[in-house]
Amino acid sequence: MNEGRYPTDWAVWADHWDLVEGHGMNVEAVPALAAQLRDPVLLVGSGQGLVAASLSSAGFHVVAVDSSATMARRARERRGVETVLCDVVDLRLGRRFATALVSTGVVNERSIAAGLVPRLVEVLRAHLLPDGVVLIAYFRRSAWTGVAELLGLYDRPSTNAFFWVAGGDVERARQLFTDRSADPEAVGLAFSRHGEALARHADFIRRVGERCERLGSVDPEGFIRDHAGFYPFPLSTAAEVSLLAELGAGGLVPRGEALLNGADTRVVVLGVGP
């Protein structure tokens, strides 16, 4: 049902999810959004249960929903979180919630283009109490986005394998990127200005590759090349405008927002209009 809406199959990343789930909607979001959250909570895109478990620990009654059977199984194994296995557009729970929280990853440029938003709004409103609120989280473009695009880190296949080949050595990776770039000067400038962020990314790629080696089920370089470019598919300004317009057309009116992770993640707080 969700084919074409997401840049990758979440199940592919199941063995590595603990390395990326701290981005976007994470445990820090629960206290940051405390003023907007009301019980009970419908959580869409619950993944391996990180936010669902955090909400439960904070005293909320949570119904977690995800479309990936693999992620739902890991949520149960890792955190004891039970998940309603369902594509959100097919969700029919027969009950209503004070808060509907849509996690990062559900709304992205591809899902917007595929027509998800109007159907998502319909489902959320069908599960929302009259005075309920909707919180939708998504990744925004940042300085890092430009660097990642310049270096081809979001491409499929991506250039992330250069970091693995370089063994996590940022200077060696820089040389690999420079040697293969049509604009080596821009690449050099990106590494100079964003060296710290690239070093963190190189460490992430190293850990993914080392885990692939320990699991022995996939070739590390091939996995990184073919799959590491999925994250975090941020929204362009035009896509943000389109998203807000479609939400408004569905009767959801902005009531506020919160910025997480150094403003890389935006959470829009909405209520039923007018």
* 140 secondary structure, DSSP code: B
* 176 secondary structure, DSSP code: H
Contact in structure between 106 and 119 (CB atoms under 8 Å)? no
SS3 content of the chain, % helix, strand, coil (to 5): 50, 20, 35
Residue numbers in the chain where pLDDT is lower than 70? 1-9, 230-232
Determine the residue type at 227. H
Residue 43 tokens read as: 């959580």
pLDDT digits (tens, 9 = 90+) for 202-231: 999 999 999 999 999 789 999 999 887 766
pLDDT digits (tens, 9 = 90+) for 57-84: 999 999 999 999 999 999 999 999 999 9
- Give the pairing type, strands 83-85 and 62-66: parallel
Contact in structure between 81 and 75 (CB atoms under 8 Å)? yes
Query: Can you tell me the distance from the alpha carbon of 243 to that of 250, in angstroms, rounded to the nearest whole number?
Result: 11
Residue 241 tokens read as: 């405008």
